[in-house]
């Protein structure tokens, strides 16, 4: 894991990804299970504030990714709140980051040992 320095506290990128996923799951559960019980649908300011907060928090934790735009805009369509778009967006960011890590060369290459191979007779 790569350590990221933020104001004197070292936070690993893996910890940020786990925090982002946990917040995305909580936001999706709130929007699917709790908000429809007592707050009216797409015109709900509480739902909009939660979406704005999630977009800001996820961008702070993971940086800007295009996956967040459909998640934010999709919440404006009635009935789409029942799809866990924030969790799907963070999952896709994680998948892409793993794909990029696998394709880039290692930062710490293995030591090269020069010489002839030992052959036993």
The pLDDT score that the predictor gives to residue 120 is 66
Q: Is residue 116 part of a domain?
A: no
At residue 62, φ and ψ (nearest 5 deg) are -110, -10
Domain extent at residue 22: 12-103
pLDDT the model gives residue 1: 46
Mean pLDDT, rounded, of the chain: 75
Asked whether residue 33 carries a pLDDT value surpassing 70, the answer given is yes
d(CA 56, CA 36): 23
User: What's the average model confidence in pLDDT over 84-106?
Assistant: 81
The answer to the question of residue 63 being in a domain is yes
The residue to which tokens 């704005």 are assigned: 52
Task: Kindly report the pTM of this predicted structure.
Answer: 0.68
**Gap between the Cα atoms of 18 and 84, Å rounded:** 16
Identify whether 90 is part of a domain. Answer: yes
Q: How many domains does the chain have?
A: 1
């Amino acid at each position: 894991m790569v350590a990221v320095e933020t104001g004197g506290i070292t936070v690993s990128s893996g910890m940020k990804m786990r925090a982002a996923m946990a917040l995305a799951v909580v936001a999706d559960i709130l929007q699917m299970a709790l908000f429809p019980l007592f707050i009216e649908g797409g015109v709900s300011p509480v739902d909009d504030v939660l979406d704005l907060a999630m977009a800001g928090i996820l961008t702070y934790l993971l940086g800007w990714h295009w996956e967040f735009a459909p998640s934010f805009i999709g919440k404006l369509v009635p009935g789409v709140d029942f799809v866990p778009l924030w969790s799907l967006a963070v999952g896709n960011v994680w998948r892409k980051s793993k794909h990029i890590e696998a394709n880039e060369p290692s930062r710490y290459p293995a030591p090269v040992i020069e010489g002839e191979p030992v052959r036993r007779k």
